[in-house]
């Protein structure tokens, strides 16, 4: 078959809802889009450990510390899981890590904001993991087998992340006036960046035509965003918190919560590397890479020795 016939057959397979597996033929751009999205997703998981890790030693109780430790460890596992999913497309891990450390690769905009109080840990679990769940349950229906299956596993753990975050926010919002103010301040700072993390509007999204035609994303950024908003606004109200949007209103006809204008200039400033913490996050990853090099070299040397021994014994 020539390429046109192959692409036609490939699209028919996608349209019939069948999964594409690693060893099958795929259009080069299908591979490129997936490599881009999965590697950025993996980077997001690893960089996302930094703002939360900042509060492990300062958690207000042993229970909160244990829960946060478990969450941050989960994120590391998600990152490794997603790097492995990206490797099924032919890119190797070192290349992906080099792309991140050199600043060439993107990771989620949301992790370029500081965690200024304990309530931020609640806001991240509730809002950031909440937005990620809505997006990832959509991606779990995607056409690429290894990625969609990774999403099923990750979403189960994200649900725990989301619940523990909302529990922190609910308790603070119903605690002392100072605690309620801390929770409201965190919501004020994290609400709009969480709205933006689900990607540009459908009109501005440059990859969505292709990523949706091939069912890499089965729904658009705006559809996923609306689902996140509809799910989250009632939770804020149940906790007694105020969404920082004077234009927020419920549309009885559509059944959706409508929000004010999203500040896209802020979003593009952050993803271009000029957010509050971009430099700090990259520096932390570069330091970790340098300081961890001896561990990787020792593990590689040990593995090589084991392989040599096995060859000798055979
Ligand atoms: N942060 C950084 N860059 C973003 C972004 C964000 N929040 N949203 C979009 N972009 C970038 C895209 O990567 C693209 O740039 P590129 O072509 O150079 O890669 C550009 O903005 C245009 O966006 P598009 O809508 O055209 O891009 P996509 O079709 O890829 O949609 C997306 C954006 C919805 C984020 C999609 O990439 C996606 O679903 N990615 C996988 C999920 C993911 O990465 N989630 C990270 C969230 S954090 C997380 O899960 C950790 C958990 O513990 C909370």
CA angle 279, 275, 292 (to 5 degrees): 30
Strand partners, 249: 258
Q: pLDDT by residue (tens digit) across 168-203?
A: 999 999 999 999 999 999 999 999 999 999 999 999
Give the nearest ligand 1 atom to 107 CA. 2
Q: How confident is the model at residue 3 (pLDDT cuts 50, 70, 90)?
A: confident
pLDDT of residue 51: 96
Q: Does residue 289 have a pLDDT over 90?
A: yes
Q: Does residue 1 have a pLDDT over 90?
A: no
Q: pLDDT by residue (tens digit) across 242-252?
A: 999 999 999 99
User: How many Å lie between the centroid of ligand 1 and the Cα of residue 79?
Assistant: 15
Q: How far, in Å, CA of 59 to CA of 53, rounded? A: 10
Q: Report the chain's C-alpha Rg in angstroms.
A: 21
Give the nearest ligand 1 atom to 196 CA. 7
Q: Does residue 226 have a pLDDT over 90?
A: yes
Tell me which residues have their CB closer than 6 angstroms to ligand 1. Answer: 36-37, 40-41, 44-45, 48, 75, 106, 108-109, 128-129, 132, 135, 139, 197-200, 205-208, 211, 217, 221, 271
Q: How far, in Å, CA of 68 to CA of 278, rounded? A: 23
The structure tokens listed for 180 are 């309620």
Q: How far, in Å, CA of 83 to CA of 147, rounded? A: 10
């Amino acid at each position: 078959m020539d390429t046109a016939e192959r692409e036609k057959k490939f699209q028919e397979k996608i349209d019939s809802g069948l999964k594409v597996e690693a060893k099958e033929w795929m259009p080069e751009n299908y591979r490129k889009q997936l490599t881009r999205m999965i590697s950025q997703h993996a980077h997001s998981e690893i960089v996302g450990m930094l703002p939360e890790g900042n509060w492990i030693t300062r958690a207000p109780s042993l229970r909160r510390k244990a829960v946060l430790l478990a969450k941050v460890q989960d994120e590391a596992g998600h990152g490794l899981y997603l790097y492995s999913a990206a490797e099924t497309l032919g890119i190797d891990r070192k290349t992906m890590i080099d792309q991140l450390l050199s600043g060439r690769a993107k990771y989620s905009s949301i992790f370029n904001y500081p965690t200024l109080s304990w309530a931020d840990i609640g806001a991240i679990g509730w809002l950031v993991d909440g937005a990620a769940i809505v997006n990832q349950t959509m991606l779990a229906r995607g056409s690429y087998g290894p990625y969609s299956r990774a999403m099923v596993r990750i979403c189960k753990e994200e649900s725990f992340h989301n619940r523990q975050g909302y529990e922190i926010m609910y308790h603070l919002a119903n605690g002392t006036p100072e605690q309620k103010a801390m929770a409201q301040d965190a919501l004020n700072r994290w609400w709009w960046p969480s709205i933006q993390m689900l990607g540009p509007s459908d009109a501005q999204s440059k990859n969505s035509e292709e990523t949706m035609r091939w069912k890499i994303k089965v729904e658009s950024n705006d559809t996923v965003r609306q689902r996140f908003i509809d799910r989250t606004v009632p939770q804020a109200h149940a906790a007694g918190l105020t969404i920082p949007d004077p234009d927020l209103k419920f549309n009885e006809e559509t059944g959706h919560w409508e929000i004010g204008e999203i500040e896209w200039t802020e979003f593009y400033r952050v993803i271009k590397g000029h957010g509050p913490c971009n430099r700090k996050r990259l520096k932390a990853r570069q330091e970790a890479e340098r300081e961890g090099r001896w561990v990787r070299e020792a593990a590689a040397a040990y593995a090589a020795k084991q392989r040599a021994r096995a060859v000798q014994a055979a």
